[in-house]
């Protein structure tokens, strides 16, 4: 994946924390640290969205839907 250069504004306290991680060799440079933080935040937001969408589902309805017709199909399944 290609990288695109962007400029950001960041408060000095946060930048000091990023620089501390770079100094400890957790990240090779500021850019990688910020890339990692943004990617992690986006992934977390996507998981949160999935969880909120799943919370809208009715468990009883979903279970009934999953089990619909299952009794008939069990008789037709081969023995293992």
Name the more confident of 33 and 62: 33
Half-sphere exposure of 6 (CA within 13 A, CB side): 11
pTM above 0.85, yes or no: no
Asked if residue 67 has pLDDT above 90, the reply is no
Span 5-47, pLDDT tens digits: 999 999 999 999 999 999 999 999 999 999 999 999 999 988 8
Name the more confident of 66 and 9: 9
């Amino acid at each position: 994946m290609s990288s695109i250069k962007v400029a950001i504004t960041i408060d000095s306290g946060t930048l000091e924390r990023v620089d501390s991680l770079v100094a400890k060799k957790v990240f090779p440079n500021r850019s990688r640290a910020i890339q990692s933080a943004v990617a992690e935040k986006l992934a977390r937001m996507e998981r949160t969205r999935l969880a909120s969408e799943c919370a809208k589902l009715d468990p009883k309805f979903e279970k009934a839907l999953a089990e619909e017709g299952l009794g008939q199909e069990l008789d037709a399944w081969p023995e293992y």
